[in-house]
Structure 1
Amino acid sequence: METRKVQVTGKSTYILTLPKKWVTKSALGAGSSVNLSYQEDGSLVISPLTIRKPTASRRLVMKESGDELKRNIIGTYIMGNCQFLEISGIGDQQEIKNEIKELCKVLIGFEIIEIDGSRVLIQDILDTDEFTIEAGFKRMSSLVFLMFNDLMEIQRTRTPENIRDIIARDEDVDKIFFLLSKLFISRLNLRKTSKKDRLRLIEAFYYRLAAGELERIGNLIVKIVHDLERASFSGEEKEKLLEFGLFTRLFVQDSVNSLRLLDIELANNLLQEKENFRAELLELTGPATDPALEIITDSFGRVKDYARNIAKLTIDLSQL
């Protein structure tokens, strides 16, 4: 960090010199205009009128693991440091190419523009001005609530359509989570931010953390669905599981509302909530009880743990 002195010219004009290295890198010169952004903490951010989007290409080489390649693709997407991504060394492995195609479906803005032999070329066409972190978090929470609704219906009827809906919605939750991560990194790098984004940087950070908890909740709902498919319960167990599921959904909804409304009282109430339902369910277990009962109740308990983490974020954020 550099320190510079404020100077006075005339009677009421204050001036500050700019670092030559930054001026040159930003392609500025005499007469150039810059943006001044006043921050709520009293700081001032100076940026060029148009921050250039990254245009460089990045190259990833396929090695031994397809999973490693996919992790690198996701990391490149989130960091947003290139407009074109070239993946080489795939050879004739059509399965890897298909996995890359499927992965790009959950990375909003990543479009495959060329597949040539052992090479795949991807372009990042995302316009960040169309999205906000706050709106994305709201959409993620809505999808998770819909997944809970489908889960309750599955517990009643085990309809295959509801199972497919849950899996599809979980994929949408993943899409938005990756997008929010990308938008947050863009904020950190002072790249183009949506004009509609009203969150301060610290708020954007906490929303990104909360989005991670929602993403984990979505994954657990899918796990619960698969465990329910393989299980067989008594009427009393089914009734208790349904009751527990409804209570857990309300718990998650309250945690999200506590953050969006910055409701400290609600957040503290959630953190003090005792787990009575899980104890009641486990009282039903006996020699003939399906072992999946404890597995499912444990998953519901983990969902509540993730929701509590959101409530804790609310309390932290309220201290600003």
Structure 2
Amino acid sequence: MDSRKIQTVGGGTYTVSLPKEWAKSEGCTAGTTVDLHTHIDGLLVIQTPESRTAPRNRVTLAVGDDDPAEIEQLLRAAYAAGVESVVLEAPDGYTDEQHRAIERVTRNLTGVTIAEETGSQVTVQTLLDVGEVSVRQSVRQLQFVALSMHRDAMAALTAGTTGDRWDDRDDQADRLYAMTDRYFERGLARLDEIDALGLTRPELFSLWVTANELERVADHAERIGTVADRLDGQPDEGTATALEDIAQDVHTAVEDAVRVITGDACVATARQTLATRRALRERITSLDRRLFESGDADYRLTRALDSLARTAEHGGNIAEFGLRMAVRDGALADSSAGTDDANASGSAAETES
């Protein structure tokens, strides 16, 4: 890093000299016109005409006789990479299975459609307008979807209820995460994307990793639902009550942790969530031991209990990063006077799923 002092010239204009090595490498001389870009997170970027390159918004992929699963994977990768238009070329035409794979992607990813189609070429386009996207609201919606799945799966496990199934909602959770992932990727490559989203880079990162954690919460809810479908009847009353109590606290822990990240709760809530996770670890271990020692409990209940434990860990991971962001931003020192109406920002961490 090279530090330069700001100076003034006639009329009070502020000036700062450019590093000579950079100017030479970019072909800048006296009289060269450069573009100045100011960004939401305080950056000032200097761009020369020669460095203005069009974003890679259109790619052409030859698919030939590729397996339909590979075609689907390619399209999902292009979506995550932020590409706006993908042209799939198959000189000998598409099989029915390949075409169904393409249609499946357009159904399961937000804003994606088949824009043009011929016998040997299909153009898949993403129509999302970044100015109309709210990553923060998408994370809130993902939280709602994941926790509604968690609630209904636990009801099916402990009481045998048969409400709305969670399969469709798991697809919805995947769509919300994929969209967040896409704009995180685009934000890494393009500062103007960050500005359009109205987020700083740390804020976007925190929301992206929170979405990652929530997508795993949805996966574990689906796993609990699968266990519920396979049980021979419901657990005994004592076990069912213990599971319900744990599930409710897990639900609250995840919900509160996300509220810290989205700015709807203060850092004190993150600290309380971490305390709740510690208590949940002990309660889950105790129940797991009791199920093992009982001898007559359905062994599949331990799988549901394991998913509850992992869901609690995902909530704790989100809270940990809320705490980390508070330390970085200096909010931790004021947390004792904070309320749930105070603003907080943070990010979530990776954990095993």
Q: What band does the TM-score fall into relative to the shorter chain?
A: 0.7 to 0.9
Contact 2:37 2:44 in 1 (8 A): no
Work out whether 1:283 is the aligned partner of 2:290: yes
The one-letter code sitting in structure 2 at the alignment partner of 1:298 is D
Distance 1:4 1:256 in 2: 41
Distance 1:260 1:38 in 2: 18
The residue number in structure 1 matching 2:88 is 87
The residue number in structure 2 matching 1:142 is 144
The residue number in structure 2 matching 1:125 is 127
The residue number in structure 2 matching 1:111 is 113
Q: CA deviation at 1:221?
A: 0.4
Query: TM-score by structure 1 length?
Result: 0.82
Q: Percent identity?
A: 21
Work out whether 1:295 is the aligned partner of 2:303: yes
Distance 1:191 1:22, change over 3 A: farther
1:115-264 aligned at under 5 Å gives the runs: 115-155=117-157, 157-163=159-165, 166-190=166-190, 192-193=192-193, 197-232=197-232, 233-236=234-237, 237-261=239-263, 263-264=266-267
Deviates more, 1:14-23 or 1:282-291: 14-23
The residue number in structure 1 matching 2:331 is none
Q: CA deviation at 1:10?
A: 1.8
Q: CA deviation at 1:151?
A: 2.4
SS at 1:112's partner residue? strand
Distance 1:173 1:128 in 2: 20
Q: CA deviation at 1:218?
A: 0.5
Q: CA deviation at 1:23?
A: 10
Distance 2:288 2:242 in 1: 7
Superposed CA deviations along residues 199-229 of structure 1, whole A, max 9, x for unmatched, are 3211111111111000011011011101110
5+ residue gaps in structure 2? 329-353
Aligned length: 309
Q: CA deviation at 1:268?
A: 2.6
The one-letter code sitting in structure 2 at the alignment partner of 1:80 is G
Q: CA deviation at 1:276?
A: 3.6
Distance 2:156 2:269 in 1: 30
Distance 1:20 1:189 in 2: 24
Contact 1:38 1:44 in 2 (8 A): no
Distance 2:7 2:40 in 1: 20
